[in-house]
Amino acid sequence: MLQELTFGFPILSLILFLPLLGAILIALLKEEDLIKNAAMGVSLLELVLAVIVLLRFVPESAAMQFSERVAWIPPLGISYHLGLDGISVLFVGLTAFLTVLVVLYSWDTVRHQIKLYFVTLLALETTMMGIFVALDLILFFVFWELMLIPSYFLIKLWGGGAERQYAALKYVLYTLLGSVFMLVGIVLLDLNYHDWAVVHHIEPAYSFDFLQLLTIPIPADKQVLIFWLIFMGLAFKAPMFPFHTWLPDALLEGPIGMAVFLAGIKLGTYGFIRFSLPLLPDASKNQGVASTMMTLALLAIIYGAIVALIQPDFRRLLAFSSISHLGFVVAGLFALNYQGLQGSLLTMINLGFSTAGLFFLAGFLYQRRHSTQLAAFGGLAKKVPLLATYLLIVGLASIGLPGTNGFVGEFLILLGAFQAHWLYGVVAVTGVVFGAAYFLWYYERAMLGPLTQAVGQAIADLNARELVIALSLSVMIFWIGLYPSPFLRMMNGSVQALVERLDKGAVAGMAVPTPVLAHRAGRIGSADARERGSFPHPVGTE
Amino acid sequence: MSDLIVILIPVFPLLAVLLNGLLGSRYSHEVAHRLAWGSVGLSFLCAIGVFAETLGAGAAREVVAYKWIFGGDLTVNLAFLIDPLTCIMLLVVTGVGFLIHLYSVGYMHGEEGFTRFFTYMNLFMVSMLLLVMGNNYLVLFIGWEGVGLCSYLLIGYYYDKVSAAKAASKAFVVNRIGDAGFLLAIFLVFQNFKTLDYTQVFAQAGQLSTEMATAIALCLLVGAVGKSAQIPLYTWLPDAMEGPTPVSALIHAATMVTAGVYMIVRNHVIYDMAPAAMTTVACVGGATALFAATIGLVQTDIKRVLAYSTVSQLGYMFLACGIGAYTAAVFHLMTHAFFKALLFLSAGSVIHALHGEQDIMKMGGLKSKIPWTHGLFLVGTLAIAGIFPLAGFWSKDEIMAHAFVHGHYVLYGMAAVGAFLTAFYMFRLTYLTFYGQSRVDHHTAAHIHESPPIMLGPLVVLATLSVIGGFPGVPPEDGWFHHFLHKVTAQVGGESAGHEAGSGLVVMLMLAATGIALAGWGLAHYLYSMRTETAAAWAERSPGAYRTLLNKYYVDELYDALFVEPTKKLGLVWDWFDRRVIDRLVVGVGELTQSSSAASTWLEKYVIYGGLNAIGYANHLLARSWRQMQSGQVHHYAAIIVAGLFILVHLVLAWWTGSGGVLR
């Protein structure tokens, strides 16, 4: 897990700052069409870079790849440290993919302050990328907090609901409240490192570096405290039941573009698998912690699904279905076995296609009916057969029909949970039934049956742009559903390493870090010896 | 080469799905339906090839298409298992499927969404083929839920009809309850064997404890009960008749609903080790056979009668599985596919002739108007009633004989009563539809017409199969069919000796079965041909019983009251709880935070101002503020926050460790 591979070219920095540079560029533009085209160009270029990273990524490896490290605040051991492994690499691709689709969606649906909108959107992309590529906890935290700024303005300025101001503030306050605790947790990690560094005469004595923190032992009870502190930050953001009440508001009041990211990019649960589990393996395994997390997860699965069942508003339904799906993800994580972790990771990616996809479709509906309330629908399939078809495809993916991506992830999670304890599996599996119930019942009332009076005669089916969005989502859904091999291979190495890490724990001291791993400015790692000019040459796994 | 043939079987219909689904609107219906039945026909030819090979070689073989889900100790391939059981299922599914596709060309002619219909039908074929061909539980499960999806899509084919839309959702959700049970079975299998491949699982099944075997078997049964519409999850099947008639024939009679039977037979090694589960299977089957038959007695919708008869016949198959007569179960599965497809399709022909009328109280006297349909329907009725020597006789008799010979007298009694009722309601249906006075209204009567050859042709083939389809299983327990399947269905621990029935007993049982069937026929003849007023009089004399049967024992209402409504109520209560309690609580905390001046200043400083810096003035200042941020503002903020928190954290730690903290 400590191995690092550089790429010879700071591609992650480029990925990280390209959207921001694009935002600046757009800020200088005047003409509306130019702005849109520029936003599309930037997001497409970002997607190309992300695809290059995915193609160049060495699968079945636990190594940190494409690493970059530069000292940032040396006295505090804070560095600008980027890298991707099997856990984070797919998120970069997903974020880039969704941003392109959001730009496409926003093309003619955002009608005021267009320039500012795309500037904000691209700024948001940078902060999300930052969260996924950061390997320094402070750097991660900075992006985590910065992300709130564009999010806040997106909800507040381009939201469709009357309560968007409230929703935006609520979202920010929730996340801030949680992240204060998380920051304390992060600092405790640093102090623990400090104690150890002082005893072992390592200079400098502070570090927020994820890979360095992994190398030192942490007492079990301290781990538990830190776990719950970090939990606060992650659970509020995810959001996990019962800290979820900002989500329905934000999704309902905010613009579709923001909802896609809130529902599709699972930052909170990513934080668990990226930091909590590997850094605090003994706390994660702790009977009290694991069973509490599992209980919250199972509650969320059932609670979310049953509340979703009776929602008349499609977006609110999706909010609760998100909460239910997050329950699945957390259940997989705290099953703490291979299938559970692999399934959770895949499901986080899947939700970026299915739940986020449903928000796009909700947006399409909203464009036509100016509402996502059930009262505005009824028998729509007759009028908009394509929309109805894609809604069904994406919806079935979200309820985990075999052949779609949702099944692969959900199956692995359930299998993992069942292996952790059969009762977990039994409870979680009821979510499968409720999921079908809430989606199909809504679909039945909104799309099937006779056309209702409320639905006017002139509704157009999907236009070309919408069709591109729906088609690209469907391609991903079936690709991962039928041939998930490339995705599984990318994550397998890191999942395996994480399972081993969880087995070994971090209480007993691990091996003393080699000098290579001690902090120093610039690039480090086992690939250090490689020449920097080796760009086209893929780094090998040692 | 031969591996390729195996893989091609599901690939042909899949190609048709892709073509018709994506491009179907660009070409004519002619092209669409040719693609549809042509692809299934090709699959059928491949299936025959595979069958011929299996006949020759005999050994089961596996064909791996590709690695599907893997990681850690789990590897699941998309792979197929070809053995005698698969072959029989393949022939039934592709053969009957092909005939029904042909029939549909005529039946669905002129329907809106013609191409959509065939796309769904082909998708169904793909799923069903995966279901019967898979070499592991997960490929079976793709097919398992896939056929459920197609069932959903096809029941809801007339989606602008509220009843069709409701029936579709109901079918899917009820099936999902079964699927959840099936998933649990898969988890248990994986936990015990660390693999999901049949061959490896069955090879090691001997190590299972009885309790574990029972648990797996019962979870599988939950799945089977859902898919095969057994008590208590049968309620979706009668409603499924909302779909077009060919769908009812293919999915809700001949193939999909038999998936549960197939799955139990496939897993019989596990069932053999779990006597308690076996008993449960037998009881579920026997009870369903009888229960559904009683409802079938009084229904007046031609398709619903057939639907309950399907539920009842599936009960026989479950009963057979439960008493270890696996070959008989598959045998009945096959003959049932022939005669039930025939019955549904000829019922479709009736409905077609009457322009959509399904109520048998508005039929009667159709024999002379649509003679072909009448003849074909009659063959189907004779076959299902178990009249010698038609297909249904042999398979049903074998199940009942097996029950009797092995001492399951109660089950035999249930099956016998069920057989009597079956004969009765099927002949009731025949009499009410084709004989007596016409009750068809004048307008419809003027337009009654026989179906076109494209519909009658497949029916003739099915009728022939319904007549001769039983002969591969003759003599009972020792026919070609039994020898062919023996390798798959041989019970673990060997056949229990001493139950060998004497030929005298066999003949006696056959005579008894024939007598039962004739008695049912006779009663129907008496009530619906000779004394047509008697039936109504009986119904009037015991209105309670009649009404209970007519309303299907009020099971739907019961389920609504017990499960559906309470769940919705719970949703409403929790939704209220969410808005009024959880939200209030956290917002309260939030407001508290906000009102404390320190927090609000903090918020203002870092969030609102920071946001304005980065975004609000972006129009003018973005470039500059970006440089500023780079030059250290965030940098400094972060440093200040970290410094402040250091102090906070040390205080926390001091309190927590009870010592001087960690600063040394």
Of the candidates A119, A396, A430, which has its C-beta nearest B180's C-beta? Answer: A430
Whether residues B159 and A310 touch (CB distance < 8 A) is answered with no
Selected residue of B592, B642, B653 to mutate for chain A interface (largest A Cβ count, 10 A):
B642
Instruction: Indicate the pairing of strand A64-73 with strand A4-5.
Output: parallel
Whether residues B162 and A191 touch (CB distance < 8 A) is answered with no
What is the average per-residue pLDDT within A332-351? 94
In degrees rounded to 5, what are phi and psi of residue A401?
-75, 135
Instruction: Indicate the pairing of strand A78-84 with strand B61-71.
Output: unpaired
Cα→Cα distances A514→A353, A467, A529, B644, Å: 41, 54, 15, 32
State how far the Cα of B435 lies from the Cα of B450, in Å rounded to an integer: 16
Residue B69's SS3 state is strand
State how far the Cα of B532 lies from the Cα of B303, in Å rounded to an integer: 22
* pLDDT computed for residue B183 by the predictor: 94
Using an 8 Å CB-CB cutoff, list chain B residues near A152.
Answer: 607, 611
Do B354 and B363 touch, CB atoms closer than 8 A? yes
Whether residues B176 and A379 touch (CB distance < 8 A) is answered with no
Closest CA of chain A from B505, distance in Å: 47
Q: CA-nearest residue of chain B to A141?
A: B638
Residue B258, amino acid: T
Cβ neighbours around A359 below 10 Å, total: 30
Establish if A23 touches chain B: CB-CB under 8 angstroms: yes
Whether residues A451 and B586 touch (CB distance < 8 A) is answered with no
Residue A233, amino acid: G
* pLDDT computed for residue B592 by the predictor: 58
Write out the two tokens for A519: 């902090």
Of the candidates A245, A415, A450, which has its C-beta nearest B160's C-beta? Answer: A450
Closest CA of chain B from A530, distance in Å: 30
* pLDDT computed for residue B550 by the predictor: 83
- Give, as one character, the DSSP assignment of residue B564: I
pLDDT-derived band at A534 (thresholds 50, 70, 90) equals: very low
pLDDT, tens digit, 9 for 90 and up, residues B324-377:
889 999 999 999 999 999 999 999 999 888 888 888 888 888 888 888 999 999
State how far the Cα of B310 lies from the Cα of B301, in Å rounded to an integer: 14
Using an 8 Å CB-CB cutoff, list chain B residues near A419.
Answer: 187, 190-191
Whether residues B74 and A339 touch (CB distance < 8 A) is answered with yes
Q: Which candidate, B452, B64, B84, B142, places its Cα nearest to that of A404?
A: B142
Please compute, for residue A51, the number of CA atoms within 13 A of its CA located in the half-sphere on the CB side. Answer: 8
What single string gives the DSSP state of each residue in A493-539?
HHHHHHHHHHHH-SSS--PPPPGGGS--SS--SGGGGS-TT-TTSPP
Of the candidates B160, B169, B645, which has its C-beta nearest A379's C-beta? Answer: B160
Instruction: Give me the residues paired with residue A79 across strands.
Output: A71
Do A434 and A360 touch, CB atoms closer than 8 A? no
In the sheet with A4-5, reading across from the earlier edge strand, the strands are A4-5, A64-73, A78-84
Mean pLDDT, chain A, as a whole number? 87
* pLDDT computed for residue B645 by the predictor: 53
Closest CA of chain A from B504, distance in Å: 51
CA A248 from chain centre, in angstroms, equals 18
Establish if A275 touches chain B: CB-CB under 8 angstroms: no
State how far the Cα of A156 lies from the Cα of A102, in Å rounded to an integer: 17
* pLDDT computed for residue A536 by the predictor: 33
* pLDDT computed for residue B128 by the predictor: 94
Establish if A198 touches chain B: CB-CB under 8 angstroms: yes
pLDDT-derived band at A504 (thresholds 50, 70, 90) equals: confident
Whether residues B187 and A408 touch (CB distance < 8 A) is answered with no
What is the average per-residue pLDDT within A502-508? 82
Cβ neighbours around B617 below 10 Å, total: 12
Residue A255's SS3 state is coil
State how far the Cα of B459 lies from the Cα of B338, in Å rounded to an integer: 10
* pLDDT computed for residue A538 by the predictor: 36
Closest CA of chain A from B607, distance in Å: 7
Q: CA-nearest residue of chain B to A429?
A: B180
* pLDDT computed for residue B607 by the predictor: 55
Indicate the range of A85-89, A371-375, B32-36 predicted with least confidence.
A371-375
Establish if A449 touches chain B: CB-CB under 8 angstroms: yes
Q: Which range has highest mean pLDDT (A139-153, A509-523, B500-514, B586-600)?
A: A139-153
Cis amide linkage into residue A204, ω under 30° from 0 = yes
Whether residues A342 and B603 touch (CB distance < 8 A) is answered with no
Closest CA of chain A from B144, distance in Å: 9
Whether residues A448 and B156 touch (CB distance < 8 A) is answered with yes
Establish if A437 touches chain B: CB-CB under 8 angstroms: yes
Please compute, for residue B363, the number of CA atoms within 13 A of its CA located in the half-sphere on the CB side. Answer: 29
CA angle A70, A76, A78 (to 5 degrees): 30
Whether residues A191 and B662 touch (CB distance < 8 A) is answered with yes
Write out the two tokens for A95: 């974020």
Residue A45 has pLDDT above 90, yes or no: yes
Q: What percent of chain A has pLDDT over 90?
A: 65
Name the one residue in this structure whose structure tokens are 């998930």.
A484
Using an 8 Å CB-CB cutoff, list chain A residues near B168.
Answer: 440, 444, 448
Mean pLDDT, chain B, as a whole number? 84
Q: CA-nearest residue of chain A to B626?
A: A24
Whether residues A485 and B68 touch (CB distance < 8 A) is answered with yes
All residues at 6 or more sequence positions from B478 whose CB lies less than 8 Å from its CB, including other chains: none
Using an 8 Å CB-CB cutoff, list chain A residues near B183.
Answer: 411, 414, 429, 432
State how far the Cα of A253 lies from the Cα of A156, in Å rounded to an integer: 8
Whether residues A440 and B618 touch (CB distance < 8 A) is answered with no
Of the candidates A152, A187, A307, which has its C-beta nearest B574's C-beta? Answer: A307
What single string gives the DSSP state of each residue in B569-596?
HHHHHHHHHIIIIIHHHHHHHHHHHHHS
Of the candidates A174, A176, A448, which has its C-beta nearest B159's C-beta? Answer: A448
* pLDDT computed for residue B361 by the predictor: 86
Instruction: Report, in this order, helix, strand and coil percent for chain B, each rounded to 5.
Output: 80, 5, 20
Whether residues B187 and A415 touch (CB distance < 8 A) is answered with yes
pLDDT, tens digit, 9 for 90 and up, residues B525-584:
888 887 777 777 887 888 888 888 888 888 888 888 888 888 888 888 888 888 888 887
pLDDT-derived band at A76 (thresholds 50, 70, 90) equals: confident
Whether residues B607 and A176 touch (CB distance < 8 A) is answered with yes
Of the candidates A444, A484, A495, which has its C-beta nearest B165's C-beta? Answer: A444
Selected residue of A28, A145, A324, A430 to mutate for chain B interface (largest B Cβ count, 10 A):
A145
All residues at 6 or more sequence positions from A420 whose CB lies less than 8 Å from its CB, including other chains: A290, A294, A334, A335, A336, A337, A340
Whether residues B160 and A408 touch (CB distance < 8 A) is answered with no
* pLDDT computed for residue B58 by the predictor: 64
Do B154 and B124 touch, CB atoms closer than 8 A? yes
* pLDDT computed for residue B615 by the predictor: 41
Q: H or E stretch including A26?
A: helix A11-28
Do B340 and B254 touch, CB atoms closer than 8 A? yes
Closest CA of chain A from B78, distance in Å: 9
Low-confidence ranges of chain B (pLDDT < 70): 1, 58, 491-501, 586-664
CA A37 from chain centre, in angstroms, equals 26
Selected residue of B567, B622, B629 to mutate for chain A interface (largest A Cβ count, 10 A):
B622
Using an 8 Å CB-CB cutoff, list chain B residues near A23.
Answer: 618, 622
Establish if A333 touches chain B: CB-CB under 8 angstroms: no
State how far the Cα of B154 lies from the Cα of B156, in Å rounded to an integer: 5
Do B41 and B122 touch, CB atoms closer than 8 A? no
Q: Which range has highest mean pLDDT (A105-109, A367-371, A453-457)?
A: A105-109
Whether residues B70 and A448 touch (CB distance < 8 A) is answered with no
Whether residues A436 and B176 touch (CB distance < 8 A) is answered with yes
Do A118 and A106 touch, CB atoms closer than 8 A? yes
Q: Which candidate, B346, B335, B339, B353, places its Cα nearest to that of B399?
A: B335
Residue A187 has pLDDT above 80, yes or no: yes
* pLDDT computed for residue B605 by the predictor: 54
Closest CA of chain A from B414, distance in Å: 33
CA A101 from chain centre, in angstroms, equals 16
Q: CA-nearest residue of chain B to A482?
A: B68
CA A358 from chain centre, in angstroms, equals 16
pLDDT-derived band at A295 (thresholds 50, 70, 90) equals: very high
Q: CA-nearest residue of chain A to B78?
A: A482
Of the candidates B188, B578, B603, which has its C-beta nearest A176's C-beta? Answer: B603
Closest CA of chain A from B168, distance in Å: 9
Number of A/B CB contacts below 8 angstroms equals: 237
pTM for this structure? 0.88
